[in-house]
Structure 1
Amino acid sequence: MLQSIFSFLNKDTKSYPKGSIHSFMVKNLQGNDFDFSSLKGKKILVVNTASKCGLTPQYEKLQKVYEKYKNQNFEIIGFPANNFLWQEPGNASDIENFCSINYGVTFPMMEKISVKGKNIHPIYEFLTKKSKNGLKDAAVKWNFQKFLLNENGELEKVISPKTQPDDRSITAWIEGK
């Protein structure tokens, strides 16, 4: 009986197996399949983006971080989302043109998805639910929230939307420091 009471009291400390983002397949802005298993062995920064947000200038620093580390087993994956004050109203072509013309984005951009709520995309369900990612529950608070995944596709860190992409907390993680 004591053991069952102890188990009940500690239910929130249950350990979950770590899932991997490598099991997901999504569509990119061009409508082509993008298989996350192709990123095995690379660190990944996943970010939800929007073109009409006060944080949109982060695209510039994301691109600089991508250029600096892309040849060092690192990838950035952007997911446009219209979940916060309708700040990503465009279609795939609009988003692609905006990113290219205004920020020279060359890192992979996926199709627009929902990152929260009843229509949350499965990949964001994985990123935000401890029962799926094995690390923590981490609801998306705003555009440009960053999820850092290790070479095995396991979630390691969740970074605030306001934290700049070139912040030392991110670059040190990329560099393994």
Structure 2
Amino acid sequence: MSIYDFEVKDTAGNMVSLKDFEGQVLLIVNSATKCGFTPQYNELTQIFNEFKDEGFTILDFPCNQFGQQAPGTGEEIAESCRVDFLVQYPIFEKIEVNGENEEPLYAYLKSEQGFKGFTGEKAELMDGILKQIDEDYMNNPNIKWNFTKFLVDREGNVVQRFEPTESLDDVKARIEELL
């Protein structure tokens, strides 16, 4: 099993093989347009623009599972991201990242890189929120919130998971190492 064995739907409902991205460094993110972490779109756009010519791309999967913070259709979300945040990287159909309807790609990503805890500026806040929802949240690999990121190297290995609280400077530095 490899990242390249998966197909996902674009916002028009067409199947896209991740094999199309073979040889690139990928950052796969579950996003939301109405979240406290939504300003990360600006930094993600900057990172994408800086490294896109070096074989890097971001694959964006809107997800409405956390606080219903990704309202609208996949096409509406993509349009909003292109207008409001100047996003040029691929945005796919809205998906679920946990539970019985989770996108198979995300089951694979979580099996490769489980949850290791929150770090960064809002770590305590997220810990408090999640403990109210699930006292045992630390002990499963589920996606905890919007803007969880998975870094994939040029060979298709899922090499790191970044929680939404982690600094995008750290994410950027790791991307640079892989490029």
Normalising by structure 2, report the TM-score.
0.80
What corresponds to 2:145 in structure 1? Answer: 142
1:21 aligns with 2:10: no
8 Å Cα contact 1:47/1:147 also seen in 2: yes
Letter in 2 for 1:174: I
Structure 2: runs of 5+ lacking an equivalent: 116-140
Letter in 2 for 1:45: L
Deviation, 1:38, is 1.3
Task: State how many pairs are aligned.
Answer: 153
8 Å Cα contact 2:75/2:93 also seen in 1: no
8 Å Cα contact 2:114/2:142 also seen in 1: no
1:35 aligns with 2:17: yes
Structure 1: runs of 5+ lacking an equivalent: 1-18
8 Å Cα contact 1:25/1:33 also seen in 2: yes
1:163 aligns with 2:166: yes
8 Å Cα contact 2:58/2:89 also seen in 1: yes
Does the residue aligned with 2:53 lie in a helix, a strand or coil? coil
CA–CA distance in structure 1, aligned partners of residues 75 and 10 of structure 2: 11
CA–CA distance in structure 1, aligned partners of residues 14 and 99 of structure 2: 25
Percent of aligned positions with the same letter in both sequences?
37
What are the Cα deviations for residues 85-122 of structure 1, in whole angstroms up to 9, with x where unaligned?
Answer: 11112112210221011101110001000001121110
8 Å Cα contact 1:61/1:164 also seen in 2: no
- Structure 1 segments of 4 or more deviating over 3 A? 135-138
Letter in 2 for 1:127: L
1:172 aligns with 2:179: no
Letter in 2 for 1:91: T
CA–CA distance in structure 2, aligned partners of residues 64 and 30 of structure 1: 26
What are the Cα deviations for residues 11-68 of structure 1, in whole angstroms up to 9, with x where unaligned?
Answer: xxxxxxxx42111111111322221111111111000000110111111111110000
1:96 aligns with 2:78: yes
Normalising by structure 1, report the TM-score.
0.81
